[in-house]
Amino acid sequence: NKWRIVFPNNGRQQKDWQQASASYSGNRIQTTKYTWFTFLPQNLFEQFHRLGNLYFLFLVVLNWFPQVEVFHREITMLPLIVVLLASMIKDATEDYRKYRFDKTINFSKTKVYDK
């Protein structure tokens, strides 16, 4: 039975607060980065901002040309895929933990003290 305690300032500003609260959303806390639809594109966008991932992507693209091909195409793609998958799994688990924590905070009981 943990309670959040909120001390509002309901003095002179009650009328202003009622007008402002009509135009703003609630107190819901959301610290997650992704949704189900934005996870893959946004995560890939963030992953390819790292220099190491761009280097491996450059090697994969370069290896598709027969004149420059050193290894098999699949072998060159393997390090990039492993790094991207590991990073995606890490980001997904972190974001899910944030989602669960936000959910517990948002549904916790709250006591409001009026002056």
* Full DSSP string of the chain: ---EEE----STTHHHHHHHHHHS--S--------TTTHHHHHHHHHTTSHHHHHHHHHHHHHTSTTT--S-HHHHHHHHHHHHHHHHHHHHHHHHHHHHHHHHHHTS-EEE---
pLDDT of residue 90: 97
pLDDT of residue 86: 96
pLDDT of residue 9: 60
In a domain, 94, yes or no: yes
pLDDT of residue 43: 95
**Residue numbers of the domain that contains 65:** 51-106
In a domain, 85, yes or no: yes
In a domain, 93, yes or no: yes
In a domain, 28, yes or no: no
pLDDT of residue 71: 73
In a domain, 38, yes or no: no
pLDDT < 50: residue spans in the chain: none
pLDDT of residue 3: 64
Q: Give the total number of structural domains in the chain.
A: 1
In a domain, 96, yes or no: yes
In a domain, 114, yes or no: no
In a domain, 42, yes or no: no
